[in-house]
Amino acid sequence: MAKTPVILRRSPFVMLRQIIILEIGIGLIYLIPTFLERLGIITAAISHSIHSNILFGIAMIGLQILIISLVFVRWYLTVYTINSSKITVVQNFVSRKEENYRLDKIASITLTQNLFDRIFKTARLIGRNGQGNTLFVLKNIAEPAYNLALIEQMQGKKEKKANKPKGGQKVKSIKEIIKNGESQLLEFKSTLLWDNKKKSSNKEIQHAIMKTISGFMNTQGGTLVIGVDDKKNVVGLANDLKNMKRKDLDGFENFFNMIFTNMIGLEFRHYIDISFEKINKKDICVIRVKPSPKPVYLKEQKNESFYIRAGNATHPLRISEATRYIEDNFKKKNIS
């Protein structure tokens, strides 16, 4: 990861959205005389005079230029800067306003989208503290998954050093890990093979698991627990085991290895460790994933996709995003 600060700007599409909204407002202003005429408040002659008045037309053009200029200036002067210790939000629209948030005080960052965000491919990044209170909202972020991953990589390096177990310090048990719930470094999956809703085998579940693992490898690593649902309920591996050729934990691991080799590649197998635990007499599979020193691509039929972990979800990157992400994160590593 590069040590230089990451500078984010809001997506330029937000300017287009604001201009469209304001232009609609101006259009409504232009229709006011006609509306008043129909209500009988002003005469047709006055309404026609207003619409045909050259000064009125010039004023409307001037207003549009002013609005477009203000929208651009507001977009250009709003800057988000992320470095190894803090996030700085600077707004210079009317007067300079600067807010700083220390990375070690941010417990989580979530990515949310409304309808407009999905249309314009933007999102909000919401930072919260340990009590769940909102610290900041970065609005209209372009390439949100890519930028969220960069922030969390910077944050993760600080946390990794701060939270490194000291001599004699007890490592968290799997029960404690599950209790904390899903995060950027932890995800739960109910099954590897069996679809509990369709009551049949489902390759989409296998794809989702490999997608998560490749996302972990391309980011900071993480832990995937199979046999636990997203509500932290331990469901176990029984449904998977009874639908495999070899109905034991060795058969489960063999099946996992086969899928991993086909979809990710045998060369990356040594970056994951598989173990099995028992909770309430139910078996679960714990897959600890190390970050890969080179990019990991997920094979999807005849194509390959590149995934990263951002927040508590795994996101695909477009070709341009993936190219920049790989350059930023893997260029200093030995790629053989």
Q: Please report, for the chain, the start and end positions of each structural domain, with discontinuous segments joined by +.
A: 1-159, 173-330
CATH number of 1-159: 2.30.29.30
Report residue 51 as tokens.
């619409």
pLDDT in tens, 107-159: 778 888 888 787 777 888 888 887 778 888 888 888 787 778 777 777 665 55
pLDDT at 42 over 80: no
**225 against 77, higher pLDDT:** 225
Is the pLDDT reported for residue 180 higher than 80?
yes
**Amino acid type, 57:** G
Asked, colleague to colleague, whether 1-159 and 173-330 share their fold, the answer is no
Kindly tell me the burial class for residue 12, based on how many C-beta atoms sit within 10 Å of its own C-beta (0-12, 13-18, 19 or more): middle
Paired strand residues for 112: 124
DSSP state of 332: T
Span 237-258, pLDDT tens digits: 999 999 998 889 999 999 999 9
Beta bridge partners of 275: 286
Contact 67, 24 (CB under 8 A): no
In this prediction, residues 11-34 reach a mean pLDDT of: 75
List CB contacts of 187: < 8 A, sequence separation 6 or more: 212, 222, 223, 224, 225, 312, 314
Residue pLDDT, tens place only, 301-333:
788 999 999 888 899 999 988 998 898 888 655
Cα distance between residue 311 and residue 151, in whole Å: 10
Return mean pLDDT, the chain. Answer: 82
Tens digits of per-residue pLDDT, 194-228? 988 888 888 999 999 999 999 999 998 999 999 99
What CATH class has 173-330? alpha beta
In the block, residue with structure tokens 């287009």: 16
- Statement: residue 272 has pLDDT above 80: yes
Q: Tell me what the mean pLDDT of segment 223-238 comes to.
A: 93
3-state secondary structure of 139: strand
Q: What pLDDT was estimated at residue 331?
A: 66
Residue 163 has pLDDT above 50, yes or no: no
Q: What mean pLDDT is predicted for residues 184-201?
A: 91
Structure tokens at 89: 């939000």
Higher local confidence (pLDDT), 13 or 160: 13
Non-local (6+) Cβ contacts of 68 within 8 A are 19
Q: Which residue has the tokens 């590649």?
A: 265
Most confident residue range from 28-42, 68-82, 160-174, 292-306: 292-306
CA atoms of 5 and 20, how far apart (whole Å):
33
Helices (runs of H) and strands (runs of E) counted in the chain: 10, 17
* Residue range 164-180: mean pLDDT, rounded: 67
Give a three-class secondary structure readout of 71-94: HHHHHHCEEEEECCCEEEEEECCC
Quote the radius of gyration of the chain (alpha carbons, Å).
27
pLDDT of residue 55: 63
Query: In 3-state terms, what secondary structure has residue 26?
Result: helix
What is the distance, to the nearest Å, from the Cα of residue 299 to the centroid of all Cα atoms in its chain? Answer: 21
CA 269 to chain centre: 26
Please, which pLDDT band fits residue 1 given cuts at 50, 70 and 90? very low
Nearest alpha-carbon partner for 310 in 96, 151, 130, 80: 151
pLDDT of residue 56: 66
Instruction: Report yes or no on whether pTM surpasses 0.75.
Output: no
**C-alpha count within 13 angstroms, C-beta hemisphere, residue 59:** 10
Give 2's pLDDT tier (boundaries 50, 70, 90): very low
